[in-house]
Amino acid sequence: MGAGLTPPRAIDQRFPGPGTSGNVGSLWWSWLQGPAGARRRCRVGAVRRLAMISLHTSPLDQPGTGDAGGMNVYVLEVAKRLARRGVEVDVFTRATSSALEPVVVAYDGVTVRHIHAGPFEGLTKHELPAQLCVFAREVLRTEAAQPVGHYDVVHSHYWLSGQVGALARDRWGVPLVHSMHTMAKVKNAALADGDTPEPPARVIGEEQVVEAADVLVANTALEAQQLLDLYDADPARVEVVHPGVDLEVFRPVPRAEARAALGLPVDADVVLFAGRIQPLKGPDVLLRAVAELVAREPGRRGRLVVPVVGGPSGTGLDKPQALADLAAELGIADLVRFVPPVGQAELARWYAAATLVAVPSFNESFGLVAAEAQAAGSPVVAAAVGGLTTVVRDGHSGLLVPGHGAEEWAAALGAVLADPALRDRLAVGALEQARHFSWDATAEATLAVYERARGRLREAS
């Protein structure tokens, strides 16, 4: 396999040795100076134990606020289903509170290990690279307390985790499987108004992880192509595995029943936004479109309800009231309901209650909200970007909007709201489309990736 068991070239060049602070460079230097016997050969046989690294956000955090979102759901759902298939999963994440237990058994076979690395609170995602050394040391220390060859695979999520995973892979002699989830070069190419570009340090870090990983798992074929085009990834080391949906939780229920439970009018036009409130997700795009729609058709005002389910995140934390202020400025504050992040069962009820679900993101590696909404039988109006073009089948399960302008979004929303026959057809298509995505299928495909990665590593050793 391309990377073999040698330290990644880019890391060796950019983190040259002693004195390097705020990254894993010094740990790499120690590894390079250590005994060659510290490296371990990949075991033959089925995957039994997995080290999953999710440094910057815990799978136990509530999605929809802070740094918690689709990746949290992904990590936990895949871990649960791998455990059902006999794989013991340890998830390593950074502790963000002194009240957290060091070790939490989340589900049978899934253990979350909270690593103390830096202050519990107050660190932004951009400040976390300074804690990579401490975090990596504690991950290695946990494994060192186990018999030799304890883990069979390392699966890292997001570039910060990939830096730690690259070190663990070479120390333990097991393959590194990495999921990017988002990519700086993709995000910077399509920034939302008011958003800030990802820093060069992240771009460099992602390039290093792409070179280090034995396998890169892309959510969609588009993401796989972006890895090849933007990061010069080795095509032989890129695999496509779609994320899934919990089809037992996200399922159709009678709309009147869902609305009664949520206190929504039975006859309202409910246009739902669910997700983190930050420029990347485009909630302002929806509000501007609603204002445009009401200006075009004043009679709609009495029927429209626009729930925004989620909390501030990313650059949205700098101005947590900005979206409410925008609603007031646009004259639609009376239509918008701000709802704090909710658990999956409650979120499923919101989807079921919606006339349509809007996903106006500027980029999505997959688009979990769109997939979940479709599983609940709700049509989706989404931006034609990233993974949303895979998740939403245009004209069948929803509508894809080619831009983010208020006029084009108002036209798309209005088309669905004005045509009951179209809504019904899209609702049927949404359920059909959702059946293509399940976490069980994701887990099976991911496990197959692990096995192939181990086989290739054995051949290369």
Give 343-400 pLDDT, tens digit per residue. Answer: 999 999 999 999 999 999 999 999 999 999 999 999 999 999 999 999 999 999 999 9
Instruction: Please list the helix, strand and coil fractions of the chain in percent, rounded to the nearest 5, in that order.
Output: 45, 15, 40
For residue 454, give the amino acid letter.
R
In this structure, the answer to whether residues 170 and 238 fall within a common structural domain is yes
d(CA 322, CA 326): 6
In this structure, the answer to whether residues 306 and 402 fall within a common structural domain is yes
Q: How many other CB atoms sit within 10 Å of the CB of residue 263?
A: 8
Extract the annotated binding site for Mg(2+). Answer: 351, 354
Residue 389 domain flag: yes
In this structure, the answer to whether residues 211 and 334 fall within a common structural domain is no
In this structure, the answer to whether residues 433 and 444 fall within a common structural domain is no
Residue 210 domain flag: yes
In this structure, the answer to whether residues 143 and 285 fall within a common structural domain is no
pLDDT-derived band of residue 276, with 50, 70 and 90 as boundaries?
Answer: confident
Query: CA–CA distance from 206 to each of 160, 164, 179 (Å)?
Result: 8, 12, 11
In this structure, the answer to whether residues 320 and 333 fall within a common structural domain is yes
Q: Look at the chain and report how many structural domains it folds into.
A: 2
Extract the annotated binding site. Answer: 56, 62-63, 67-72, 125, 158, 182, 202, 276, 281, 342, 351, 354, 364, 372
Residue 305 domain flag: yes
In this structure, the answer to whether residues 89 and 202 fall within a common structural domain is yes
In this structure, the answer to whether residues 368 and 444 fall within a common structural domain is no
The pLDDT of residue 458 is 85
Angle at 313 (CA atoms; ends 311, 319), nearest 5 degrees:
90
Residue 153 domain flag: yes
Residue 349 domain flag: yes
Judged against a pLDDT cut of 80, whether residue 71 lies above it is answered with yes
For 17-36, what is the mean pLDDT? 38
Query: CA–CA distance from 292 to each of 285, 335, 412, 413 (Å)?
Result: 11, 13, 12, 10
In this structure, the answer to whether residues 423 and 445 fall within a common structural domain is no
Extract the annotated binding site for 1D-myo-inositol 3-phosphate. Answer: 56, 67-72, 125, 158, 182, 202
CATH of the domain at 371: 3.40.50.2000
Which residue range forms the structural domain that includes residue 233? 49-244+440-460
Is residue 441 a contact partner of residue 244, using CB atoms and an 8 Å limit? yes
In this structure, the answer to whether residues 215 and 275 fall within a common structural domain is no
In this structure, the answer to whether residues 300 and 212 fall within a common structural domain is no
Judged against a pLDDT cut of 80, whether residue 6 lies above it is answered with no
Predicted TM-score of the model (pTM): 0.86
Extract the annotated binding site for UDP-N-acetyl-alpha-D-glucosamine. Answer: 62-63, 70, 276, 281, 342, 364, 372
326 secondary structure, DSSP code: H
For residue 151, give the amino acid letter.
Y
In this structure, the answer to whether residues 228 and 268 fall within a common structural domain is no
